[in-house]
Copies of this chain bind each other. A is one copy, B any other.
Amino acid sequence: MNIGQASRATGVSTKMIRYYESVGLIRPADRTDSNYRDFGERDVHELQFIRRARDLGFSVAEIGHLLSLWRDRDRPSREVKAIAQKHVADLDARIAEMKAMADALRTLAKCCAGDDRPDCPILVDLSTRQTGALKSNVRIAR
């Protein structure tokens, strides 16, 4: 299976497959005589694993950890659960932060006429409100 076929089989772009290999998330694929990457069933399975973990919002680093646990048939489920729970907590924190933003903005927008007149509570708020304590060290990123 060449990289294009592996990509179609897993929904991971060829670019990403090469990237995952370059950062050591997957082991270097076998090569054909003509230097094409050659993926076996196991590789495809790992790529599917990665794809689903990405769908759940895990970072590449977390996926690396999950993959190593997955490869180890004797891993304690405690470790996996801990990673998952930490990720859930991260997600919840980011969700809360974004919800606070959305709610604040919704309230302002509701008070804005949204017509031809220039008066706008949204701009008034942006130009006068005290800087909110809406800050965190948690990145709002996938």
Residue A31 is within 8 A (CB to CB) of chain B in the complex: no
A51 to chain B, nearest CB (A): 6
User: Residues of A with Cβ closer than 8 Å to B?
Assistant: 10-11, 45, 48-49, 51-53, 55-57, 66, 69-70, 73-78, 80-82, 84-85, 87-88, 91-92, 94-95, 98-99, 101-102, 104-106, 108-109, 112-120, 122-123, 125-127, 129, 131-132, 134-135, 139-142
Partner of A99, one of B76, B95, B141: B95
Q: How far is the CA of A50 from the CA of B12 in the complex (A)?
A: 38
Are B101 and A69 in contact, with the CB atoms below 8 A? no
For this chain, the copies found in one complex come to: 2
Partner of A88, one of B53, B102, B131: B102
| Most chain B CB atoms below 10 A, which of A87, A105, A129 | A105
Q: How far is the CA of A113 from the CA of B117 in the complex (A)?
A: 60
Of B53, B56, B91, B101, which one neighbours A57 at CB under 8 angstroms? Answer: B101
A-B complex: 6 closest residue pairs judged by Cβ atoms: A81-B114, A140-B142, A77-B120, A91-B102, A57-B101, A81-B112
Of all chain B residues, the one with the shortest Cβ separation from A112 is: B81
A126–B75 alpha-carbon span in the complex (Å): 15
